[in-house]
Amino acid sequence: MNINDDFSARIAARSADATWTPSPLPGIDRRMLDRVGGEVARATSIVRYAPGSHFDRHVHDGGEEILVLEGVFSDQGGDFGAGTYLRNPPGSAHAPFSREGCLLFVKLRQFAPGDLESVRIPTRATPWRPGLVPGLSVMPLHSHDGIDTALVRWAPNTRFNAHSHPGGEEILVLDGVFSDEGGDYSAGTWLRSPRWSRHTPFTGPEGALIYVKVGHLGAEFLGL
């Protein structure tokens, strides 16, 4: 199954247009954002666990990246509340579950060779750093070989300079409204802009909180 697999195209997937697809296990559904492959795939998804649902133990040959959006996600390593950022490196294994239900942003098989770091960041208890322009705050989450992941908090009515992304850019709007010359993107919108894309992002009176990954489009990943 291939979904949004043309990585030279710009994608804006809005939550209002979401289609949920059941996983092989009951109580777990997926909003597929991009996917290359079958049940084992290079994939980016929103994953919804009903209360009491679980996955069987499995190995992530190409690694797994998770941002907990709502609820509490659990595995043998602990309980991870909303705002937790996790990276499970290639070769790691777990049996995930959720007692109360949760909503996750998940990226599978998108670890570069040599990226073997296990990461657990409670972002709601982590300090912010000043951004490059007034009104912008940044929380770095992970960096490896030119691929950078962060949360970025935009104060209301903040404008960034026009810039390009040589390695592409991926954004999930977590709160507020994020904008550029292509439109306005409310919470739940997922954006993927191709290599060398260019824009001038800004916020209006709502401000915004976004997840951002840059430099990864065109990169070599394990497990492909």
Q: What is the pLDDT of residues 58-76, one digit of tens each?
A: 999 999 999 999 999 999 9
Domain borders along the chain are: 18-122, 123-214
Q: Is the pLDDT of residue 103 over 70?
A: yes
CATH of domain 123-214: 2.60.120.10
- Render pLDDT for 80-94 as a digit per residue (tens, 0 to 9): 999 999 999 999 999
**One fold for 18-122 and 123-214:** yes
| C-alpha dihedral sign at 19, 59, 106, 71 | positive
Residue 149, classified by CB atoms within 10 Å of its CB into exposed (0-12), middle (13-18) or buried (19+), is buried
Contact at 8 Å (CB) between 68 and 80? Answer: yes
* Mean pLDDT score, 143-170: 97
pLDDT at 219: 67
**Percent of the chain scoring above 70 in pLDDT:** 97
* Mean pLDDT score, 164-186: 97
- Render pLDDT for 190-210 as a digit per residue (tens, 0 to 9): 999 999 999 999 999 999 999
For the chain, the average pLDDT equals 95
Q: Is the pLDDT of residue 221 over 70?
A: no
Q: Is the pLDDT of residue 96 over 90?
A: yes
* Mean pLDDT score, 205-224: 84
- Render pLDDT for 9-19 as a digit per residue (tens, 0 to 9): 999 999 988 89
DSSP type of residue 39: S
pTM (two decimals): 0.96
Identify which of 53, 92, 85 has the alpha carbon closest to the alpha carbon of residue 68. 85
Token pair belonging to 173 = 């709007």
Q: Is the pLDDT of residue 8 over 90?
A: yes
CATH value of 18-122 in 3.40.50.12280, 3.50.50.60, 2.60.120.10, 1.10.10.10? 2.60.120.10
- Residues 80, 86: Cα–Cα separation, whole Å: 9
pLDDT at 218: 77
